[in-house]
């Protein structure tokens, strides 16, 4: 368990991973400059095979993995290798300089016993800092860490264990509801993080992979299956590469990748087949997010496939620290259950300034709501003192095969939505009028909208409330 002094230091230096303000990008002309900042870590050519530390296929490899990680770290870094075979383990805590490498045919089966994820660690749960169960793979304030290879990470989650904690199949509150509400109240009241202790009996599920306040991170090539909750969750990290990861997990809140209050993040060549948003960018919830006060910035998403999920790329709703400079290109969104391709969600309690979001060369199958949604009426809506802002959202060369609307934009008078631009796009199967409420400039240039067998070209839209 992390000592209280460490938790106090976390509170005092919460913004330490933010090396000064990140300038807002003006467009794709800033893309190469931002991409050049993101460099995957390199590790010494030393291997530490877990079988050399006592692991055997079919057995509990927890101690062997832990010993191999500690030896590798003490020696200055290298690869901790999981060979082909099926191994069982509890939580894995990575140390600096360690690359956890799964060879082809290797499967790590993680325990589904909550007791194995104690003692509690410093974590963020739905945007609020607390002490809770350890994530399945976790690192805290470590540099140069990685998970690589062609093997499989199997969280083992299903409706008989982790997922049942947020079972909404009945009208009764879920098991997690009381603790979730208590945590939100603690965040609003500014209760010290070390006093926000959950874990046993609280039913707040751990994330699969959470790297917290780490630098120089690589996750590459692995398959991730059956996560308790969010799959990949870098928090307050800098210089993160997530490449070629294949995610299949359909439980509640099974977001694929959620960078939170992190800077310089590259997500490329990944496949998302998830039970919630494929990618959801965050920066903390309400007062707790403003206390930490670190935005997500310089995030690139490219060459990804979204097979299933509620939203392709989502920003929010835990976005109180703000977000800037998000680039999305060359992605395919083919989910039959996709609600929106690009979604922003916040409200007057979350707040947050989101600016500089650029999407190009994206192909979308069908969406059930709209290609773009900006929802400031989410949950508490205008009830709060922190009206949100979304501005400079530019969408180029995006094509969809079917959507009821191109855009669904719902603001309120005190909030700001401005400079939303579509250029050289084709949207087919549009059947409903655009909803645009309380927005500034919304411009269409060279856009083709194809409703019910007709074809028309639109160049601009006047917001409904102007």
pLDDT score of 21: 82
Non-local CB neighbours of 354 within 8 Å, separated by 6+ positions: 315, 316, 319, 322, 323, 324, 344, 346, 388, 389, 390, 391
| 461 found inside a domain | no
Assess if residue 36 is contained within a domain.
Answer: yes
How far from 118 is each of 156, 213, 230, 350, CA to CA, in Å? 18, 20, 19, 31
Which residue among 246, 276, 308, 375 is the active-site one? 276
pLDDT for 9 equals 39
* DSSP of 410-436: E--TTSEEEEEEEES-EEES--S--EE
Query: What's the domain range around 155?
Result: 28-162+176-338
* DSSP assignment of 47-107: EEEGGGGT--TTSB-HHHHHHHHHHHHHTT-EEEEE-SEEEEES-EE--TTEEEEE-TTEE
Tell me, what DSSP letter sits at residue 162?
G
Find all residues with CB under 8 Å of 392, minimum gap 6, and list them: 24, 355, 356, 357, 418, 419
Mean pLDDT by 10 residues, the chain (466 residues): 38 47 94 98 98 98 99 99 99 99 99 99 99 99 99 98 96 95 98 99 99 99 99 99 98 98 99 96 98 98 94 97 99 88 98 99 94 97 98 98 95 98 96 96 96 56 48
Q: Provide the pLDDT for residue 13.
A: 35
Confirm whether 276 is a catalytic residue. yes
In a domain, 106, yes or no: yes
Does 436 fall in a domain?
Answer: no
- As a whole number of Å, the end-to-end CA separation of the chain is 56
User: What CA–CA distance (Å, rounded) separates 202 from 196?
Assistant: 11
Is 459 part of the annotated catalytic residue set?
no
226 part of a folded domain: yes
> Bridge-partner residues for 431, per DSSP?
none
Is 114 part of a structural domain of the chain? Answer: yes
Q: Looking at the domain assignment, is residue 395 inside a domain?
A: no
Q: Which token pair is 354?
A: 């989101």
pLDDT at 294: 98
Query: What's the CATH number where 78 sits?
Result: 2.160.20.10
Which of the following is catalytic: 88, 310, 386, 394? 310
DSSP 350: T
| Per-residue pLDDT at 466 | 43
Q: Output the pLDDT for position 265.
A: 99
Q: Name residue, tokens 């979350």.
A: 350
Cα(249)–Cα(272) distance, integer angstroms: 9
**Would you say 389 and 350 are in contact if contact means Cβ atoms under 8 Å apart?**
no
How high is the pLDDT of residue 7? 41
DSSP 5: H
Backbone angles phi, psi at 305, to 5 degrees: -120, 125
Q: Which of 64, 67, 194, 209 is nearest to 134 (CA)?
A: 209
Asked whether residue 292 is domain-assigned, the answer is: yes
How many structural domains compose the chain?
Answer: 1
CB atoms within 10 A of CB 159: 11
Q: What is the DSSP string of 180-243?
A: HHHHHHHHHHT--GGG-B--TTT--PPPSEEEES-EEEEEES-EEE--SS-SEEEES-EEEEEE
């Amino acid at each position: 368990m992390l000592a209280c002094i460490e938790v106090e230091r976390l509170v005092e230096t919460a913004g330490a991973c933010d090396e000064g303000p990140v300038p807002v990008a003006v467009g794709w002309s800033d893309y190469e400059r931002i991409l050049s900042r993101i460099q995957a870590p390199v590790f010494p050519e030393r291997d530490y095979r877990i079988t050399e530390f006592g692991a055997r296929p079919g057995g509990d490899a927890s101690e062997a993995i832990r010993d191999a990680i500690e030896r590798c770290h003490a020696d200055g870094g290298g690869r901790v290798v999981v060979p082909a075979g099926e191994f069982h383990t509890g939580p894995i805590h990575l140390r600096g300089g360690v690359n956890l490498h799964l060879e082809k045919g290797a499967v790590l089966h993680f325990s589904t016993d909550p007791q194995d994820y104690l003692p509690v660690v410093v974590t963020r749960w739905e945007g609020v800092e607390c002490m809770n169960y350890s994530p399945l793979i976790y690192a805290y304030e470590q540099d140069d860490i990685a998970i690589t290879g062609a093997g499989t990470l199997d969280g083992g989650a299903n409706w008989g264990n982790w997922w049942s904690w947020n079972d909404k199949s009945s009208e009764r509150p879920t098991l997690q509801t009381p603790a979730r509400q208590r945590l939100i109240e603690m965040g609003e009241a500014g209760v010290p993080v070390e006093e926000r202790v959950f874990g046993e009996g609280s039913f707040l599920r751990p994330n699969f992979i959470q790297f917290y306040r780490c630098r120089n991170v690589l996750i590459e090539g692995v398959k991730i299956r059956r996560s308790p909750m969010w799959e990949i969750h870098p928090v307050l990290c800098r210089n993160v590469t997530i490449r070629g990861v294949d995610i299949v997990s359909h439980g509640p809140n099974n977001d694929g990748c959620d960078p939170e209050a992190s800077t310089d993040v590259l997500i490329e060549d990944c496949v998302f087949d998830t039970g919630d948003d494929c990618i959801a960018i965050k920066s903390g919830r309400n007062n707790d997010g403003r206390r930490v006060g670190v935005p997500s910035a310089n995030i690139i998403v490219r060459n990804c496939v979204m097979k299933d999920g509620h939203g392709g790329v989502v920003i929010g709703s835990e976005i109180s620290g703000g977000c800037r400079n998000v680039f999305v290109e060359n992605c395919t969104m083919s989910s039959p259950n996709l609600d929106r391709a690009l979604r922003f969600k916040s409200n007057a309690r979350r707040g947050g300034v989101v600016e500089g979001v650029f999407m190009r060369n994206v192909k979308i199958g069908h969406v059930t709501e709209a290609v773009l949604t900006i929802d400031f009426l989410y949950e508490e809506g205008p009830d709060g003192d922190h009206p949100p802002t979304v501005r400079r959202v530019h969408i180029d060369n995006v094509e969809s095969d079917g959507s009821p609307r191109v855009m669904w934009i719902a603001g309120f008078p005190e909030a700001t939505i401005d400079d939303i631009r579509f250029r050289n796009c084709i949207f087919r199967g549009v059947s409903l009028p655009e909803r645009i409420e309380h927005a500034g400039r919304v411009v269409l240039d060279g856009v083709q909208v194809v409703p019910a067998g007709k074809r028309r070209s639109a160049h601009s839209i006047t917001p409904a409330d102007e």
